[in-house]
Structure 1
Amino acid sequence: MIVVTGAAGFIGSCLVSRLNAANFNDIVVVDNFSAVKKENNLKGKKIIEFVDREGFFDWLDANYEGVEFIFHLGARTDTMEVSKAIFDLLNLNYSKKVWNACCEYQIPLVYASSAATYGSGTLGYDDDENITSLLQPLNPYGESKNDFDKWALEQTAKPFFWAGLKFFNVYGPNEYHKGRMASVIFHAFNQIKEKGSLTLFRSHNPDYADGEQMRDFVYVKDVVDVCYFLMHHRKNSGLYNLGSGKARTFMALALSTFNALGVTPDINFMDTPETIRDTYQYFTEANMKKLRSIGYDKPFYTLEEGVRDYVQGYLVDNKYM
């Protein structure tokens, strides 16, 4: 059995699809299973058991001998959430329990970290474990992810294989339920369909023109391919960046979305809300050398390729992966 926590969510449900496509059908999914996510994101997938998040550790105590691998993708991912108690509960302490169980039962583990751990990027975007304790995330979500990374690195007891994946700006199918936390591409598509135009945040940094703010956008199909690779690799434990490795502008993203829809670009700008202006990231780019060095050699989707596949293959017809 392969366990996927957060399986009803965006990346988790896409990973279940990727595993099914490779004929891994003994999948145990763990989540709090809101009706919308369960009915849509997990519909039609080959799953042998649904386990509620709160009952997972009792289930694992009774079934660990049959568990081959755990992907721990469940987390509170709302970057606007300010309650440290919620992040401590769901992102830090729950993850510690998953880690300790994997140590006890000798189960390999891949878990979701985040590029939010890098904060403003003053120390760069290198997945060098020696700088983990020096990073200064800009919000409680990033802090919770970095707190767990630091804790994991400090442990003497570790799963025989583990990897923490620092996801950059992931986009793709199955994020319909995420509301304001869905990708910019998802929101751009909906704005263009509704209004024929798109509004981006204006730059408040003199080093960047409006629309020239840059992020590392990574397609979810690449993310789950890396997860699949690591499930088989099971060597070289540690923290790994997971982005495309190429920063692109929001203007490029916008133009790619218009082009995928066959609509003439009409782009406007609005002030970045003051509530997030001081913590706004103007540049992120994953250094992907570490993952490449352990043998992952598959090319990543370019932004244009990923947006076209996402828009034309999924968003236009409201399809799921």
Structure 2
Amino acid sequence: MIVVTGAAGFIASCLVTRLNAANFNDIVVVDNFNEERKLANLKGKHLREYVDRETFFEWLDANHEQVEFIFHLGARTDTTEQNRDILNVLNFEYSKKMWQACCQYQLPLVYASSAATYGSGTLGYSDEDALLPLLRPLNPYGDSKNDFDNWAVNQTEKPFFWAGLKFFNVYGPNEYHKGRMASVILHAFRQIQETGSMTLFRSHNPEYADGEQKRDFVYVKDVVEVCYFLMHNRQHSGIYNLGTGEARTFLDLTLNTFAALDRTADIHFRDTPEDIRDTYQYFTQAEMQKLRSIGYDRPFTRLEDGINDYVRNYLVTGNYY
């Protein structure tokens, strides 16, 4: 059995699809299944069992001998969340329990970290361990992820294989439920369909023109390929960036969304909301040498190709992956 936590969410549900495609069908999905808006992400998938996140560790105690691998992708992912107690419980303490259970039962573990740990990026985007204690995230969500990364690398007892993945800006199918936290592509698609135009955040940093803010946008299908690779290549534990290694602008993102819809671009700007303005990242770009060094050699999807696939084959049709 393969365990996937956060399984009804965006990235994890896409991972379940990738596993099914490789004939892994004994998948135990773990989540808070009371959130009905996410359940459509799991329809039609081959699953063995649904386990509520609150009772998962009791389930694992009883079933660990049948578990082969754990993907711990569940978390509180709202980057605007200010309640540190919630983030501590869901992102830090729960992950600690997962780590300790994997040590106890000798289970391999891949868990979700985040590029939010890099904060403003003034220290760069290296995924080497030496940088971890120096990072200063810009919000409590980033703190919760960085706190766990630091805790993990400093443990004397570790799973026999483990990997923490620092997801950069992931986009793609199955994010319909994410609301404000969905990718700009989904917001652009909806705005263009409704109004024929798209409004982006204005730059409040004199070093960047409006729309020229840059992020490392990575297609979710690439993210799950890396997860699949790590399931089969367990020689090198550690923390790894998961982006493309190439920063692109929000204008690039939006113009390609218009192009995928065969629409003429009409882009406007508005002030960045004050609740995120001071913690807004103007540039992210993953250093990918570390992942490449352990043998991951697949090319990452070009932004143009990823947006075209996402818009035409999922957003326009309403399909799930």
What does residue 141 of structure 1 align with? 141
What does residue 59 of structure 1 align with? 59
What does residue 168 of structure 1 align with? 168
User: In the TM superposition, what is the alpha-carbon distance from 1:2 to its structure 2 partner?
Assistant: 0.2
Q: Which runs of 4+ in 1 moved over 6 A?
A: none
User: In the TM superposition, what is the alpha-carbon distance from 1:147 to its structure 2 partner?
Assistant: 0.4
What does residue 69 of structure 1 align with? 69
- With normalisation by structure 1, the TM-score equals 0.99
User: In the TM superposition, what is the alpha-carbon distance from 1:36 to its structure 2 partner?
Assistant: 2.3
What does residue 213 of structure 2 align with? 213
Q: CA offsets per residue over residues 62-95 of structure 1, 9 Å max, x none?
A: 0000000000000000011100100010000000
Whole-Å Cα distance in 1 between the matches of residues 188 and 310 of structure 2? 12
Whole-Å Cα distance in 2 between the matches of residues 204 and 141 of structure 1? 22
| Structure 1 residue identity aligned to 2:300 | F
Whole-Å Cα distance in 1 between the matches of residues 65 and 43 of structure 2? 28
User: In the TM superposition, what is the alpha-carbon distance from 1:271 to its structure 2 partner?
Assistant: 1.2
Question: Is 1:35 aligned to residue 11 of structure 2?
Answer: no
Q: Give the CA RMSD over aligned residues.
A: 0.6
Whole-Å Cα distance in 2 between the matches of residues 3 and 98 of structure 1? 11
User: In the TM superposition, what is the alpha-carbon distance from 1:273 to its structure 2 partner?
Assistant: 1.6
Whole-Å Cα distance in 1 between the matches of residues 153 and 129 of structure 2? 8
User: In the TM superposition, what is the alpha-carbon distance from 1:245 to its structure 2 partner?
Assistant: 0.9
Whole-Å Cα distance in 2 between the matches of residues 36 and 87 of structure 1? 21
Q: Secondary structure at 1:123's aligned position in 2?
A: coil
| Structure 1 residue identity aligned to 2:101 | A
User: In the TM superposition, what is the alpha-carbon distance from 1:305 to its structure 2 partner?
Assistant: 0.6
Q: Secondary structure at 1:79's aligned position in 2?
A: coil
Q: Secondary structure at 1:4's aligned position in 2?
A: strand
User: In the TM superposition, what is the alpha-carbon distance from 1:278 to its structure 2 partner?
Assistant: 1.2
| Structure 1 residue identity aligned to 2:129 | E
User: In the TM superposition, what is the alpha-carbon distance from 1:46 to its structure 2 partner?
Assistant: 0.3
| Structure 2 residue identity aligned to 1:223 | V
What does residue 274 of structure 2 align with? 274
| Structure 1 residue identity aligned to 2:246 | K
Whole-Å Cα distance in 2 between the matches of residues 78 and 280 of structure 1? 14
What does residue 92 of structure 2 align with? 92
Whole-Å Cα distance in 2 between the matches of residues 55 and 314 of structure 1? 34
What does residue 24 of structure 2 align with? 24
What does residue 294 of structure 2 align with? 294
What does residue 107 of structure 2 align with? 107
Whole-Å Cα distance in 1 between the matches of residues 213 and 185 of structure 2? 15
Whole-Å Cα distance in 2 between the matches of residues 245 and 6 of structure 1? 26
Q: CA offsets per residue over residues 36-82 of structure 1, 9 Å max, x none?
A: 212x1000000000000000000000000000000000000001110
Q: Secondary structure at 1:145's aligned position in 2?
A: helix
Whole-Å Cα distance in 1 between the matches of residues 131 and 194 of structure 2? 45
Question: Is 1:204 aligned to residue 204 of structure 2?
Answer: yes
What does residue 285 of structure 2 align with? 285
Q: Secondary structure at 1:170's aligned position in 2?
A: strand
User: In the TM superposition, what is the alpha-carbon distance from 1:277 to its structure 2 partner?
Assistant: 1.4
What does residue 225 of structure 2 align with? 225
**Residue ranges of structure 2 left out of the alignment (5+ in a row):** none
| Structure 1 residue identity aligned to 2:306 | G
Q: Secondary structure at 1:165's aligned position in 2?
A: strand
| Structure 1 residue identity aligned to 2:148 | F
Whole-Å Cα distance in 2 between the matches of residues 53 and 274 of structure 1? 34
User: In the TM superposition, what is the alpha-carbon distance from 1:280 to its structure 2 partner?
Assistant: 1.0
Q: Secondary structure at 1:199's aligned position in 2?
A: strand
| Structure 2 residue identity aligned to 1:150 | N
**Residue ranges of structure 1 left out of the alignment (5+ in a row):** none
